[in-house]
Amino acid sequence: MRVSERTADGEGDSEDTAARNGQVATRTVRVMTYNILSGGWPRVDALEAVMRDAQADLIGMQEVTKRTVNELASRLGMFSALAPAASGRGSAVGLLSRWPLREVHLHPKAPMRNALLEAVVEPEGAAPVRIFVAHLAASYSAWRGGEGERLRELAYILGQMGKRADEPRLLMGDFNSLPPGERLLASRLLLHAAQNDARRAQGDDLTGQPGVKKVLPKPLRPLASALLGVVRVPALAWAGDLAASAYVPRAVVRQTRAAGYTDLYTVAHPDPRQREMSCPAQNPAGRIDYIFASPALAAGLLACELLGETPTSPVLRASDHRPMLATLALASTRRRGQRPQAGSGSASPSAAHP
């Protein structure tokens, strides 16, 4: 599959020009997934700036709270939904949408540590899209990085998505899992965790950001000081990164792809050596954030990027994850040659969906 040469900002085959040229009209939709870190409230201004700059139509959020999702919905003029964690000990996920939500399912009995949200959105002039927003468990200190727990969670998600096999589907979120063929800079992650511990010792509030105990398996924790010395030597850090990459499994992403869903970022960036990393935003060590699409949606991929810091988008202040933004061309439900109505594509009135 090749990403279309149409530009991500909407130039190219718009609904109007496509109709005039006798082509199938399309509707461009911008989809974002974003782990906003521990509720996001202290950084809500920065989060708003990142989202507004991206001009996203659909935003799936992880580690969000009701207060934050309602505030962002009000500021951005979007509809919203929030799913609390079924376990009561994990974090919530949410969705912001430029269009009203036709259905919302919170999956209160999902066998997951964090929440799962399912919703149906009907972009103006296009067929409905079923969206799943997920946040798989982060158990890096467990055996093989906790991949077994995430595989059990994934099995439930894929089962729910399979019930809607006749509908266009998107799955987005923080999977806390690495993709096959991409690098893990474990040395960078360990140094970042040590820096977090040092800042906490000085009184900094780093709620939600990992320390050394969070990222090291229990058998290696007594060796933390020695390992920190090792990763400060470039040649040894390189060898350690290779060993860690071999240790960490990639089954979650592999199984999602095997179920028929396309990892949009890999299509937009076919060379693994050119792919960027999503977390931690300040010292990226690996890609754990994804937007997956069913075949019909994936065929309309225009672009997919990990967003970085710019003068108008304070990514490094907003969260410890970089947001991922995909641009998709959806087939229009308008008849060929029918011109869009005035106001088509404008923001919906602000409304917070319960």
**Number of neighbouring beta carbons within 10 Å of residue 223:** 12
pTM assigned to the model: 0.84
Distance, in Å, from the CA atom of 325 to the CA atom of 305, rounded to the nearest integer, reads 5
For 47, list phi and psi in degrees, rounded to 5: -60, -45
Please report the pLDDT score of residue 189 as a whole number: 80
What CATH class has 15-182+249-331? alpha beta
The string of pLDDT tens digits covering residues 72-81 is 999 999 999 9
135 bridge partner residues: 174
Distance, in Å, from the CA atom of 61 to the CA atom of 95, rounded to the nearest integer, reads 6
Report the 3 state secondary structure along the chain.
CCCCCCCCCCCCCCHHHHHHCCCCCEEEEEEEEEEEEEECHHHHHHHHHHHHHHCCCEEEEEEECHHHHHHHHHHHCCEEEEECCCCCCCCEEEEEECCCEEEEECCCCCCCCCCEEEEEECCCCECCEEEEEEECCCCCCCHHHHHHHHHHHHHHHHHHHHCCCCCCEEEEEECCCCCCCCCCCHHHHHHHHHHHHHHHHCCCCCCCCCCHHHHCCHHHHHHHHHHHHHCCCHHHHHHHHHHHHHHCCCHHHHHHHHCCCEEHHHHHCCCHHHCCCCECCCCCCECCEEEEECHHHHCCEEEEEECCCECCECHHHHCCCCCEEEEEEEEECCCCCCCCCCCCCCCCCCCCCC
pLDDT for 223 beyond 90: no
- Residues near 53 by Cβ (< 8 Å), separated by ≥ 6? 310, 312, 313
Distance, in Å, from the CA atom of 187 to the CA atom of 232, rounded to the nearest integer, reads 8
Cis bond upstream, residue 272 (ω within 30): no
Q: What average pLDDT does this structure show over 59-64?
A: 98
Determine the straight-line distance between the first and last CA of the chain, rounded to whole angstroms: 38
Q: What is the mean pLDDT of the chain?
A: 85
With beta carbons less than 8 A apart as the criterion, state whether 288 and 256 touch. no
pLDDT for 87 beyond 80: no
With beta carbons less than 8 A apart as the criterion, state whether 234 and 156 touch. no
pLDDT for 324 beyond 90: yes
Kindly report, as residue ranges, where domains of CATH 3.60.10.10 are found in the chain: 15-182+249-331
Give the whole-number percent of the chain exceeding pLDDT 70: 85
Distance, in Å, from the CA atom of 209 to the CA atom of 283, rounded to the nearest integer, reads 12
CA dihedral 193, 195, 201, 203 (to 10 degrees): -100
Please report the pLDDT score of residue 24 as a whole number: 56
The string of pLDDT tens digits covering residues 140-196 is 555 566 788 999 999 999 999 999 999 999 999 999 999 999 988 888 888 887 877
200, burial (CB in 10 Å: exposed 0-12, middle 13-18, buried 19+): middle
